Amino acid sequence: MRILIIEDDKDTLQYIKTRLEERCFAVDTAETGEGGLRLAKANDYDLILLDHGLPGKDGMEVCREIRTQPELSRKGTPIIMISVTNEVDYKVAALDHGADDYVTKPFFFDELYARIQAVLRRPPVKETGRFELDDLSLDVASQKVVRGEKSVYLTKKEFALLEYLLRNKGHVVSRGAITEHAWDMNIDSLSNTIEMHILNLRKKLELPKKKKLIYSVPGRGYKIDVER
Ligand code: CA
């Protein structure tokens, strides 16, 4: 079993690494969120131990990126978050962001180890690659988008944009995040290109008598959701 530990506290990092290696785990380490994300992309881990308090991107942000960046979320690697915070709201947020379990510092290694074993015993969560909202569905494998009974034809970029919005359903995504995650390297330099694709998506998806799904949030970005 290969484990990635993302933790900036050198003593904690070394302690967990040593104890896991004693139990025959292969262990890689990163001391920043960015470094951890790089390793998570490059290698296939059976589990990621993720500290919350990290310099730069914090653990919650890293967790969210692992669950929303297509190349990472596809791997479905389990994540155990580690934090000094013991508040329920925080734990709920961690689970909401895609963590599989949560350990509060300070912890006994045996507790962490038991949680690691429990998470590793779960059958791997294979991404279904299917997203649904209202009567809209998007299927990654077949590249099909359906609203109600009607199949909707999207260009490659519109599809990538819609998939990214749906992965972040209910959350505002910035134009920067869209450029980073949903666009390939050949993005047009035209600054209005994201707006243009959003507009096209709306035209194709928000047909008469259908609920509005895509919202602009001035100064922040876009969100896909059903208004309640
Ligand atoms: Ca820390």
pLDDT confidence band for 134 (50 / 70 / 90): very high
CA distances from 50 to 32, 75, 164, 195, 205 (A): 10, 16, 24, 35, 38
Tell me which of 2-11, 14-23, 188-197 is least confident.
188-197
- With pLDDT > 70 as the criterion, what percentage of the chain qualifies? 92
CB 23, CB 14: distance < 8 Å = no
pLDDT score of 9: 95
Span 170-200, pLDDT tens digits: 889 988 888 777 765 555 545 568 888 999 9
Confidence (pTM): 0.60
Residue 10 pLDDT more than 90?
Answer: yes
**9 Cα–ligand 1 center, Å:** 5
Span 109-121, pLDDT tens digits: 999 999 999 988 8
* Residues forming a β-bridge with 133: 136
Please state, as a whole number, how many other Cβ atoms lie within 10 Å of the Cβ of residue 188.
Answer: 11
**58 Cα–ligand 1 center, Å:** 9
Please name the helix (run of DSSP H) or strand (run of DSSP E) that holds residue 159, with its range, or none. Answer: helix 156-167
**213 Cα–ligand 1 center, Å:** 38
**85 Cα–ligand 1 center, Å:** 11
**129 Cα–ligand 1 center, Å:** 33
**214 Cα–ligand 1 center, Å:** 37
* Residues forming a β-bridge with 134: none
**31 Cα–ligand 1 center, Å:** 9
**110 Cα–ligand 1 center, Å:** 20
**59 Cα–ligand 1 center, Å:** 9
Tokens, residue 132: 């649904």
pLDDT confidence band for 143 (50 / 70 / 90): confident
**51 Cα–ligand 1 center, Å:** 6
**65 Cα–ligand 1 center, Å:** 18
DSSP result, 57-126: S-HHHHHHHHHHSHHHHTT---EEEEES---HHHHHHHHHTT-SEEEESS--HHHHHHHHHHHHHSPP--
* Across 85-92, average pLDDT: 85
Query: Considering only CA atoms, which of 28, 35, 34 is closest in space to residue 61?
Result: 34
CB 143, CB 159: distance < 8 Å = yes
